[in-house]
A and B are shown apart, each in its own frame.
Chain A
Amino acid sequence: MIMTKLNDLLKRHETWRPLIIALSIIVVIAISHKIYWETTAETNPGKIWDGKTFSIVDLGEDENQIWRIKFNQEVDDKIVFKGVLETSPRNEVYQNFTTGGFIESEGLVYTEDLYGKTMLNVGGMRILVNGNLSGEFFESEIITIRAHLVENTTTFQNGPNNVTLIREGWEAEPEDIQLASDTDYYFFGTEVLILLFGTYLYLKNMRHLRNQLNLIWHLAKFEFKSGMKSSRMVILGLFFSLFIIGIGWVLGDMQGANPETSFFVENGNHALLQFCFFTFFVVSLAAIAVSVDAFHKERQTNTLNMLLARPITRESIVIGKALGLTMVVGVPAFVAQLIGLYLMILEGDIPAISGILAFLLFGQVMIFTMVTFQLCFAVAARSGTDVVIYGLGAWLLFAIVWNLLVYAISFVIGIELTEGFETNPEYQALASHLGLFNPGYVYQFAVGLLTHRTIAIDMGGIPGWLVLLALVLWPLTCLRASTWLFKREMKG
Chain B
Amino acid sequence: MSGSLLKLKDVQKDYRTYRFGRETGRINALNKLSFSVDRGQVFGFLGPNGAGKTTTIKCIVGILTCDKGNILIEGDDIEENRLHSKNKIGFLPEQVGLYGGLTPTETLKYYGGFYKLENEILKERGKDLLQKLGLDKDSERQVRGFSLGMRKRLALAVALLHEPEILILDEPTSGLDPRGVKALRAVLQELNEKGLTIILSSHVLSEIQEICTHIGIIDKGKLIRQDTIAGIREEVRKTAIKLSLRVKGFNDSNAKQLNKKRGVSIIEETDLGKHTRVLLKLKENLIPWVTDTLVSKGVKIFSIEPQTSSLEDVFLKETGDDND
Contact = CB atoms under 8 A, between A and B. Distances in A.
A302 B82 CA distance: 21
Interface of A: 207-208, 211, 215, 218, 222, 226, 229, 298, 301-306, 308-313, 490-492
A229 B101 contact: yes
Contacts of B55: 492
Given A490-B63, A492-B64, A306 B15 contact: no
Contacts of B114: 215, 218, 310-312
Interface of B: 13-16, 29, 55, 58, 61-65, 67, 81-84, 86-87, 89, 91, 93, 95-99, 101, 110-111, 113-116, 155, 158
Contact of B16 (A226, A306, A313, A491): A491
Given A226-B101, A229-B101, A309-B86, A490 B64 contact: yes
Contact of A305 (B29, B86, B89, B97): B97
7 contacts: A211-B83, A302-B96, A306-B93, A311-B114, A312-B114, A491-B64, A491-B67
Nearest to A303: B97
A70 B135 CA distance: 95
Contact of A306 (B58, B65, B101, B158): B158
Contacts of A298: 97
Contacts of A303: 97-99
A302 B158 CA distance: 14
A301 B98 CA distance: 8
A305 B89 CA distance: 14
Contacts of B58: 305
Nearest to A488: B18
Contacts of A208: 83
A492 B13 contact: yes
A126 B97 CA distance: 71
A226 B114 CA distance: 17
A311 B61 CA distance: 10
A308 B65 contact: no
Contacts of A491: 16, 64-65, 67
A226 B91 contact: no
A309 B87 CA distance: 9
B175 to A, nearest CB: 12
Given A492-B55, A492-B64, 5 more contacts: A208-B83, A309-B62, A311-B83, A311-B114, A492-B15
Contacts of B62: 308-309
Contacts of B29: 492
B89 to A, nearest CB: 7
A309 B96 CA distance: 12
A305 B110 contact: no
A306 B111 contact: yes
A215 B111 CA distance: 11
Nearest to A221: B113
A471 to B, nearest CB: 26
Contacts of A215: 113-114
B38 to A, nearest CB: 22
Nearest to B102: A226
Scoring A229, A302, A310 by chain B CB atoms within 10 A of each residue's CB, the highest score goes to A310
Most B CB within 10 A of own CB, among A229, A312, A490: A490
Contacts of A211: 83, 116
A464 B166 CA distance: 56
A248 B84 CA distance: 51
Given A309-B63, A491-B16, A301 B110 contact: no
A226 B13 contact: no
Of all A-B residue pairs in the complex, the 7 with the closest CB atoms, nearest first, are A302-B97, A303-B97, A310-B114, A311-B86, A309-B91, A302-B95, A311-B83
B5 to A, nearest CB: 17
A208 B58 CA distance: 23
B151 to A, nearest CB: 10
A305 B96 CA distance: 9
